[in-house]
Chain A
Amino acid sequence: GAGVSQTPSNKVTEKGKYVELRCDPISGHTALYWYRQSLGQGPEFLIYFQGTGAADDSGLPNDRFFAVRPEGSVSTLKIQRTERGDSAVYLCATKRGQGKSDTQYFGPGTRLTVL
């Protein structure tokens, strides 16, 4: 079946602009995670949804970052007043349930470049 999809694949924006990044999960996956991967580093956790609610947003770096999942499926990561330091690959991962053995499946990512 279809995997996790993310759009756009690339986004170039100017400093101070607002951007939205979209994640479409695998059908039936209730858990959804956002990670950020800066150049030369491993991905870092941003936020986790179980269903519609954000169960853990401790990884969001500041209040310019916000994410929603209104119907428990598609999620949007929103970044206000973008800064050059926000440039990174933003990854979405989903898994079937809350079990520790469930695998997180990653999307291809959105490469964000802030000029």
Chain B
Amino acid sequence: AQSVTQLDSHVSVSEGTPVLLRCNYSSSYSPSLFWYVQHPNKGLQLLLKYTSAATLVKGINGFEAEFKKSETSFHLTKPSAHMSDAAEYFCVVSEPAAGNKLTFGGGTRVLVKP
């Protein structure tokens, strides 16, 4: 069975400083991993995805994540936070054997201080 743990439920950063959102996963097979963002009263938007190609994945809005199989981690980073980055972020795993259904972590709410 697949599962995802997001290690921080809330993260607070100052504008212009780095952002780190931590994610660990459990999967029986070679998984695909995703980060989605959800702004208040908006739909889920894909930030980036890993599907067994390069382990360092670049996404939209300056975000990137690194797949580390030995650590079963897929942490999300951004060098410099912007006010518009304030949102809820979800780490997600899927497996072909499970019909590619998505299993979400509990989410990390990011607050950006001016």
Q: Which residues of A contact B (CB under 8 A)?
A: 31, 33, 35, 40-45, 48, 50, 55-56, 59, 91, 93, 95, 98, 100-109
| Residue of A44, A93, A104 most packed against chain B (CB within 10 A) | A104
CB neighbours of B99 from chain A (8 A): 48, 50, 55-56
Beyond A55-B99, A95-B100, 18 extra complex contacts between A and B, CB < 8 Å: A31-B100, A33-B101, A41-B106, A42-B104, A43-B44, A43-B90, A44-B104, A45-B103, A48-B101, A50-B99, A98-B100, A100-B51, A100-B94, A100-B96, A101-B32, A102-B100, A103-B49, A106-B45
CB neighbours of A43 from chain B (8 A): 44, 90, 102, 104
Q: Which of B69-105 contact A (CB under 8 A)?
A: 90, 94-96, 98-105
| A-B contact number at CB 8 A | 60
15 contacts between A and B (CB under 8 A): A35-B102, A41-B107, A42-B105, A45-B101, A50-B99, A56-B98, A59-B101, A100-B32, A104-B46, A104-B102, A105-B46, A106-B36, A106-B45, A108-B42, A108-B43
CA of A91 to CA of B38 in the docked complex: distance in angstroms? 12
Closest A residue to B31 using CB positions: A100
Q: Which residues of B contact A (CB under 8 A)?
A: 32, 36, 42-46, 49, 51-52, 90, 94-96, 98-107
CB neighbours of B44 from chain A (8 A): 43, 91, 93, 106
Given the known inter-chain contacts A42-B104, A44-B104, A48-B99, please indicate yes or no for A103 contacting B46, CB distance below 8 A: yes
CB neighbours of A108 from chain B (8 A): 42-43
CB neighbours of B102 from chain A (8 A): 33, 35, 43, 45, 93, 104
Q: Which of B51, B90, B101, B105 contacts A56 (CB 8 A)?
A: B101
CA of A105 to CA of B106 in the docked complex: distance in angstroms? 19
Closest A residue to B97 using CB positions: A100
CA of A102 to CA of B101 in the docked complex: distance in angstroms? 11
Q: From residue A47, how far is it (CB to closest CB) to chain B in Å?
A: 9
CA of A103 to CA of B33 in the docked complex: distance in angstroms? 11
CB neighbours of B94 from chain A (8 A): 100
CA of A56 to CA of B98 in the docked complex: distance in angstroms? 8
